[in-house]
Structure 1
Amino acid sequence: MNTQNSNIYSVSSLNRAAKSLLETGLGVVWLSGEISNLTIAVSGHWYFTLKDHSASVKCAMFKGNNRRAGFIPKHGQQVLVRGKLSLYEARGDYQLIAESMQPEGDGLLKQQFDQLKCQLAAEGLFSEQYKKPLPQIIKRIGIITSSTGAALHDILSVLKRRDPRLQVIIYPSQVQGAGSAESVASQIQLANARNECDLLIVGRGGGSLEDLWCFNEAVVAHAIFNSQLPIISAVGHEIDVTISDFVADVRAATPSAAAELVSQNKAFVSTQLETLLTRLKAAMNSNLQRTQHQQALLTQQLLKQDPKHKLQQQTLIADELSLRLQHAMNAILNRKQQRENYLQASLMQHSPEQTINLELQKQSQLLARLKNGMQNKLKESEVDLQNCISQLNTVSPLATLARGYAIVKDEKGKVTTDASLLSAGDVVDVRLDKGTFKAKVI
């Protein structure tokens, strides 16, 4: 009797036990289906049904998880959901507690991406110990991408601007669609076989996950891993991440960033060359100084032992006497020259040429004063003329027009000063300060 009673459950305990079995039995599952009966609660939680052609299951996705979905699902939308099975004890309904949701197309690709990523990581393709460093001196770069894509244009533009000395070899490849992964892998193998580059840039411009999918294929990952040439992965935009980024020796955010990365070696080479040149100059100067010092010592010893040394001393004495004689002769010549200059100056003081020059200077000064006087007189006359013009303008009828008045003439050309003399319909000529026009009396 007691044994039988031990198998009796209450409804609550049964639902609790069933919930525990559901939550621990299957673990995390992926579920593909169509959204229906979507309800967005005030709390922010999503409640919906996921169905296929013959069955359905109730689902709940709490606010903290659905914020990361990046979209709001719609009725009838096909999605891929990851979550855990559970049971709502109050009603005994089992349901899926969704942790993530993606549109089915991208979701399947993302799932395949995660599976391949885990597989390749387990094989060691992402290990840092296999990463090859970029060469410090780069002379030739290989580019594996579409020959008509924007990525190639961006890379070539950056290299031309930053380091035009770099040589570029293009290995054109298909980077999207069926067969693109095999095309990229074969070009990597070809570049390694030809071994004519210092490194390879493998990539393409931005696009959807499906557009970039060839760089998430195992064949490309193994080709990059087995490459003897260092490889820079430059796929899509900065936010795009592919399997090739993890396998490659270096990952660049964009194709342009890859070009900037390799062209930075120009500064390194220039700095290295400057350093080596400085060291070479210092070594040469040091060697030259040591040689000169040794030569000076040997020369001094030779002079002390050379029989010509006394002769050189006598030569120095003779040179000194010669210089003293030369200085004395120069002093006599200077005195004679000074005397000659003095006599020439005295002669110039009594020369009529100086008097003529003085008179010419006086004449030039008088001529300048005459010109200045004439110019001043002319300016005074111009000022008087302007004053006259100003006074004439003051009393001119044209000045009155300039202040906003007008002259009205009737059809006969007679100036009209009385408006009562005009009748409705008369046409008059009106003259203003600038221009004339006809007016009709209303």
Structure 2
Amino acid sequence: MAQQHILQVSELTKKVRFILESELNTVWLCGEISNFIAASSGHWYLSLKDQKSQVRCAMFKGNNRRVSIQPQNGQQVLVRAKVSLYEPRGDFQLIIEQMESAGEGLLRQQYQLLKDQLHKEGLFELYHKQAIPKLIETVGIITSPTGAAVKDIMNVLKRRNPLLKVIVYPVLVQGEQAKYDITHAITLANQRNEVDALLIARGGGSLEDLWAFNEEIVARAIFQSALPIISGVGHEIDTTLSDYVADLRAPTPSAAAELVSADTEERIKNLLSLSKRAHIAIGQQLKRSSHLLGSLNHRLSQVHPEQQLRNKQQKSDDLTLRLQGLISRKLNQVKHQPTYLEQRLINASPANKVKQKLQYAAQLNTQLIRAQQRLLMAKREVFSHQCEQLHIVSPLATIARGYSITRTEQGKMVKSIKDLEIETSIKVEVSDGVIDAKVLAVKAN
């Protein structure tokens, strides 16, 4: 017991709270409200229960401001909450972040799941969208024949384009049968192929009212339609899966009607604009044709026989002048050719060749003599310079300046007194002769 850590109550509740919040995190829960209290602080406190269990809940005012319903005891709700623990009392509880009516909440979950599925399959991608024809002569409307939406659409079409043909495919737009009616109408319109575009419309309502246009069977029928489809379901804030899959989405049925109908006044303006453009284009075409006609007339005059004959005569005169000039140059060449050949013969004769060779040999001999003289002079200068250098370093030059060279009788040069002995005969060489002498004494410096 001494080694085991004993927890305080607050430590235990803190650890349990940490485990609950980290492990379970956020959960969705459906249940019945009981013990509902709206505190003066703005927070809500309640319990959610089913037939077997209940759990305490708290929803703080920062989150409950966004709740669109007024909670009351006995009401079934769908909540998104974090699992937690109220530490002061050790009570297990949920911290609610989002609350909505159970029926609509479940529908929203189904809507989101199907939306994610269709998005992953690529049904919402832009490259699948068909272009809406610019000129629509016949439009098909898939809607309730007695609803306000069809009346609004017909009023808009009549005002903007009375000539537009309209085919209504009557369907239910609410209830379990609605999804089958809408799917059948889309298939029927594609089989008949009698309209240029389809308009799917319905007035506004709750999520449950518009649910037929969130059904998977309807979304896939719209995606598979060969006819371009415009979706005009609900009000601007309402968005259904049909809007995502359709080739074009309009915020309201009336807006969808405007998209498929060109305004009559606008069409008149377009016709006037096209007429003006056609008039300008015809004028430009006439101008180009006139210019082309003038060009063709000019080309025709150039190929006229008389013009062709003149051109041929001019060309003949030009060739005649060129031929005369060529003949004249050839005659001059023939006339001067003997003189030219004679000169070439003289230049090529053996005597002339021998004379040229002799002149060339004389030039070479002269060049050789000059080269020998230059070489001899250069050698003399080098020899004279070397003699001067040799004289400078010669012993004779040293002797001439008053010095002498002493040798033994054997001819060995005396460099030190150690090389001599008393009574030794020596020879002293001076500048003008040799002196025979004998050593009488030797003194060191």
TM class by shorter chain equals 0.5 to 0.7
Aligned equivalent of 2:48: 50
Is the alpha carbon distance of 1:18 and 1:136 closer, same or farther for their aligned partners in structure 2, counting shifts above 3 Å? same
Deviation at 1:280, TM superposition (A): 1.9
Q: Match of 2:332?
A: none
The CA distance in 2 between the partners of 1:11 and 1:181, in whole Å, is 59
TM-score, normalised via structure 2 length: 0.62
Instruction: Verify the 8 A CA contact 1:138 1:265 in the aligned structure 2.
Output: no
SS, match of residue 43 in structure 1: coil
| CA RMSD after TM alignment | 2.7
Match of 1:417 in 2: none
**Mapping 1:233-244, distance limit 5 Å:** 233-244=231-242
Structure 1, residues 133-152: CA drift from partner, whole Å, max 9, x if none? 21222111111111222211
CA contact (8 A) 2:160 2:263 kept: no
Aligned to 2:88: 90
* Paired position in structure 2 for 1:178: 176
CA–CA distance in 2 between the matches of 1:135 and 1:111? 36
1:78 aligned to 66, 76, 79, which one? 76
Contact 1:136 1:265 in 2 (8 A): no
TM-superposed deviation, 1:181: 0.5
In the alignment, structure 2 segments of 5+ residues that lack a partner are 302-445
* Alpha-carbon shift at residue 296 of structure 1 (Å): 8.6
Percent same amino acid at aligned positions?
55
| Aligned CA distance change for structure 1 residues 295 and 110 (closer, same or farther; 3 Å) | closer
Partners of 2:270 and 2:7 in 1: CA distance: 82
Give the secondary structure class of the aligned counterpart of 1:69.
coil
Is 1:18 paired with 2:35?
A: no
Gap change, CA 1:112 and 1:284, over 3 Å in 2:
same
SS at match of 1:80: strand
CA contact 1:141–1:201 (8 Å) conserved in 2:
yes
Following superposition, the deviation at residue 276 of structure 1 comes to 3.5
Give the equivalent residue in structure 2 for 1:111: 109
Matches within 5 A, 1:249-328: 249-264=247-262, 270=268, 272-291=270-289
Give 1:224 deviation, angstroms.
1.0
Query: Structure 1 residues 11 and 131, CA, compared in 2 at 3 Å: closer, same or farther?
Result: farther
Aligned partner of 1:228 in structure 2 is 226
The change in CA–CA distance for 1:5 and 1:128 in structure 2 (over 3 A counts) is farther
Deviations 1:40-91 (A, max 9, x none): 2222111111112222111111112111112321122221111121111121
Give 1 or 2 for the bigger CA radius of gyration.
Answer: 2
What CA distance in whole angstroms lies between the structure 1 residues aligned with 2:263 and 2:25? 51
For 2:39, the aligned partner's letter is A
* Distance in 2 (alpha carbons) for counterparts of 1:133 and 1:28: 43
- 1:162-216 Cα shifts (integer Å, max 9, x gaps): 1112111111112111221011111111112222222111121222222211111
State the AA in 2 paired with 1:183: D
What is the TM-score normalised by the length of structure 1?
0.62
Q: Which residue is 2:153 aligned to?
A: 155
Aligned length: 300
| Contact 1:137–1:265 (CA under 8 A) maintained in structure 2 | no
Q: 1:260 & 1:215 partners in 2: Cα distance?
A: 21
Please state whether the residue corresponding to 1:73 is helix, strand or coil: coil
Measured in 1, the distance between the counterparts of 2:243 and 2:289 equals 58
Once the two structures are superposed, residues 104-141 of structure 1 have per-residue CA deviations (whole angstroms, 9 ceiling, x without a partner) of 22222222222222222222222222222212221111
Seen in structure 2, the aligned counterparts of structure 1 residues 30 and 276 have a Cα distance that, compared at 3 Å, is: same
Contact 1:176 1:214 in 2 (8 A): yes
User: Unaligned stretches of 5+ in structure 1?
Assistant: 303-442
